[in-house]
Structure 1
Amino acid sequence: MDEWVPVDLIHLSDGRDVSLVLRTVERHEARRAQVRAECLIATDFAKARLQTHIWLDHLEEWEEALRRLSAGHDASWPRGSRGLELYFHPHESGWLSISVHDPDRLTVALGLAPTAEWIVEHEANLQRLRDACGES
């Protein structure tokens, strides 16, 4: 059996103090609609680790959010979630404002300047997760 490797659906960082990572924490089980994940948030003033799930039926929404962000528009994901929700606001300067909201545990805002290729990298992350979950 192949060795399982975590998949980062989201990995944004300024390379120093600020980062947001949404990562799977276990292999996806067939016939399950979700995969266990963790959301890691780091800033110069706070660090958080939130246990969550990535619902496979929300992956198309993430793809659409990436399209919106690529066009310079705001995006949230997943929309209408009762759990972890992420809000993205791109600025013309290249700066990205992000709000992480978990209604039971935490709301935090952070900002960073992602690499110029961050959208393409996240589209590749999305495909890696789909492949790992048999959703291709």
Structure 2
Amino acid sequence: MVTAERLDLALLRDDEGNSVRITVLGPLQGVAGGLSAEIVVDTPFVAGRVALSLWRSRLTEWGEALDRLGAGEDIAWLHVQRGPAVHIHLNGERDCPEVVVEDVLVSMTTVRVPIDLPSDWIATHRGMLAAVLDAWDGHLSPE
């Protein structure tokens, strides 16, 4: 049985109180090899959360998205699949990175959060991804 604790896959936040967090909560009930997760948006203006299901392929895609961000490209993660999507624009409307969370399927809501990220945030997130994969490797299906 997997006993790993909740782990953050992403924690994008700044000193202004804006944050977007993706947390792995544990095994996905009723689905072998999947993980239950949530996306939490918290700002001084708006707060919300949406459930997210993760598989090894989605975690691999997150790693590829981090590589593209490191190369200076904007990303859209999970944008062609059912459920919420996360977009990261390195140069948003407020002259800083912004994270856009879309939940088109359930709430039909989109939230755009400007976040002044530290210079090492991509390396930090690569480490978070590695920690999630290390903790849950035995549970995740090979695909």
Q: TM-score range by the shorter chain?
A: 0.7 to 0.9
Structure 2 residue 75 is matched with structure 1 residue 70 = no
Match of 1:119 in 2: 122
- Measure how far apart 1:49 and its partner are: 1.6
Q: Any conservation in 2 of the 1:72–1:91 contact (CA below 8 Å)?
A: no
The aligned length equals 135
Query: Structure 2: which amino acid aligns with 1:107?
Result: T
Change (3 A) 1:77 1:131: same
Query: Structure 1: which amino acid aligns with 2:123?
Result: V
Q: Any conservation in 1 of the 2:28–2:53 contact (CA below 8 Å)?
A: no
Q: Which moved more, 1:75-84 or 1:115-124?
A: 75-84
> How do 1:1-136 residues align onto structure 2 when only pairs under 5 Å count?
4-27=4-27, 32-91=32-91, 95-103=96-104, 104-105=106-107, 106-134=109-137
Give unpaired runs (5+ residues) of structure 1.
none
- Measure how far apart 1:10 and its partner are: 0.7
Q: Any conservation in 1 of the 2:2–2:136 contact (CA below 8 Å)?
A: no
Question: How far apart are the structure 1 equivalents of 2:82 and 2:27?
Answer: 24
Q: Any conservation in 2 of the 1:86–1:101 contact (CA below 8 Å)?
A: yes
- Measure how far apart 1:32 and its partner are: 2.5
Q: Any conservation in 1 of the 2:4–2:136 contact (CA below 8 Å)?
A: no
Change (3 A) 1:4 1:12: same
Change (3 A) 1:18 1:109: same
SS in 2 for 1:115: coil
Provide the alpha-carbon RMSD of the alignment.
2.5
- Measure how far apart 1:130 and its partner are: 0.7
Change (3 A) 1:2 1:33: closer
- Measure how far apart 1:48 and its partner are: 0.2
SS in 2 for 1:26: strand
Question: How far apart are the structure 2 equivalents of 1:53 and 1:121?
Answer: 22
Q: Relative contact order (alpha carbons < 8 A, sep ≥ 6): 1 or 2 greater?
A: 2
> C-alpha offsets along residues 67-113 of structure 1, whole Å, 9 cap, x if unaligned?
11111111111241111100111029982111100112121111111
Give unpaired runs (5+ residues) of structure 2.
none
